[in-house]
Structure 1
Amino acid sequence: MAHIIVVGNEKGGSGKSTTSMHVATALVRMGHKVGALDLDLRQQSFGRYIENRLSFVERSKVQLASPDFRQLPKVDEALLSPDDNADDARLSAAVATLEKQSDFILIDCPGSHTRLSQMAHSLADTLITPLNDSFVDFDLLARIDGDTNKVLGPSVYSEMVWSARQMRAKAQLRPIDWIVVRNRLGTQQMRNKKKVGDALNGLANRIGFRVAPGFSERVIFRELFPRGLTLLDLKDIGSGGLNLSNVAARQEVRDLLRALHLPDVSVTI
């Protein structure tokens, strides 16, 4: 069975699509077969990223490793039983198709609570939650006392992950390995950065996730999207020498892949 990686939280702008694209492409570059789904049916940022990549390959005639992206199939609702949900059927059909030919299936979820997102989380073997390094995003995981920084209790997204874990336990599936990824880290050791880090580390054992470093705030990530490129592609397209910032960013991708502890993955990129 394919190992299912879900990238999600319930807030936009946290770098989900950038994280999805770099993880999926890195796995393909290392020789793994990767299927890809984008459950944000309106914006399709991850899907557009891959479309941009395929267009760039066609124009430039440069071969770049790419995941196998699929749209959710349509289903004949007349064939569904009264207890069945059309979105559930669409996602199940897409996963079943990709599972036959994939080592990994990466699913990018929308930045909101939807039926598709909820189901995807219950399918996750590995859950990656990118989080901007601020208490605004931290609030999705837990409510915190503004004066003491004491955690008051889990918040909406953590409760959704808990429900997904319960569903998997009832189905006797392996537990979700949940990794919270700190994105858009500032280069300076600011007081707020330390407070967020301390809060995340304190919460990790309480609600069951691991903390991993993600991607720093860099202009290069925004520049890569229109061509569908990742940091790992820059040498392949003959972009010239990498500056120190890009070299550091490539190392961040490697560090994230190692932190995920994915099965049968040796990070060689």
Structure 2
Amino acid sequence: MSQAKVIVVGNEKGGAGKSTIAIHVVAALMHGGAKVAVLDLDLRQQSMGHFFAHRRAWLDANGAVAPMPLEYPLSADLAKVPDAEAMAHFEDAFGKASEAADFVLIDTPGGDTAISRAAHGLADLIVTPMNDSFVDFDMLGLVDPVTLDLKRPSLYSETVWNSRKARAVASGKSIDWVVLRNRLAPTEARNRKRLDERVQALSRRVGFRVGPGLRDRVIYRELFPFGLTIADLSPTIRPVAMSLQHVAARQELRALVGSLGLSGPAGEELLAAQ
């Protein structure tokens, strides 16, 4: 059995910020001294794969040094082959990744696929970002259109529930599930209160924890084309002008990884205050 901790970033709705969360968690773990392997299961878009390709190119061009993950890329052609063939390639890549790293982080597509379901079943931790909207909540739970009362869990919640049940039967281990409130808007307090109440009700029903995500900050978008995150900024790595926003963003990332219960290989805090 693998000793690597497996983190799956998942939500079957596109645009929830999965890849943004994934690359920031990877960067925080690497700067904490962990050896991290990454698998990008979004075979068509491959945002995480492109991010680390940009990172390598920027570091080489600028003579800078920053940690890189172990990458096990899956071909976009796997989206067109039978599920059994795609699963074989995924299982091979996952096996190699889990033997080589302290953490394996898997970024999943905004949709239901066989390898995405398989990845959820392998997870020790599932991280689900959701935007501050009932549109995103609809993938987790259905509400009554008249009263807004929670009616029942929705499609993605059922997928995670089935993965957790199967994992418990097969190995006796549980899967931790954290839903991150991502890209919170500074206004719309009434809508947020309504949404908070439904998220908390659903968390009690299906058993996830609620954590803080990343706000909709310009700095996250500014750094993406360089393949960099707020965790990478230093006196030698500074592709954009520094501001107080960077300090707030770093504290935000610290809170995120803290809510996930993640630490370095020796248990040290990730992204200690500077």
- Cα distance, 1:34–1:173 mapped onto 2, change above 3 Å: farther
Q: Return closer, same or farther for 1:59/1:239 CA change in 2, 3 Å cut-off.
A: closer
Q: 1:240 to 1:154 in 2, by over 3 A?
A: closer
Contact persistence 2:36–2:101 (CA under 8 A): yes
Tell which deviates more after alignment, 215-224 or 135-144. 215-224
TM, length-normalised to structure 1? 0.92
| Partner of residue 35 from structure 1, selected from 31, 34, 37 | 37
Distance (whole Å) between structure 2 residues aligned to residue 132 and residue 213 of structure 1: 11
- Cα displacement (A) at 1:187: 2.5
Q: Please state whether the residue corresponding to 2:171 is helix, strand or coil.
A: coil
Q: Paired residue for 1:251?
A: 251
Indicate the residue corresponding to 1:16 in structure 2.
18
Letter of the aligned partner of 1:258 in structure 2?
Answer: G
Unaligned runs of 5+ in 1: 75-83
| Over 4 Å off, 4+ runs | none
Local SS of the residue matching 2:173? coil
What is the aligned partner in structure 2 of residue 233 from structure 1? Answer: 232
Q: Is the 8 A contact 1:257 1:267 kept in 2?
A: no
- Measured on the aligned residues, the alpha-carbon RMSD in Å equals 1.9
Give the direction of change, closer, same or farther, for the CA distance of 1:189–1:251 in structure 2 (3 Å limit).
farther
CA contact 1:73–1:90 (8 Å) conserved in 2 = no
State percent identity of aligned pairs.
Answer: 46
Which residue does 1:135 correspond to in 2? Answer: 134
Where does residue 77 of structure 1 map in the other structure?
none
1:92 positional shift: 1.3
1:72 — aligned with what? 74
The 3-state SS of whatever aligns with 1:257 is helix
| 2:108 matches 1:106 | no
User: How many equivalent pairs are there?
Assistant: 261
* Aligned equivalent of 2:80: none
TM value normalised by structure 2 = 0.90
The change in CA–CA distance for 1:200 and 1:266 in structure 2 (over 3 A counts) is farther
Distance in 2 between residues matched to 1:239 and 1:48, nearest whole Å: 18
Matched residue, 1:153: 152
| 2:79 alignment counterpart | none
Kindly report which structure 2 residues correspond to 1:204-243, keeping only aligned pairs within 5 A, or say none: 204-235=203-234, 236-239=236-239, 242-243=242-243
The alignment partner of 2:34 has SS state of: coil
- Contact 2:127–2:178 (Cα < 8 Å) also in 1: yes
Distance 2:268 2:130 in 1: 25
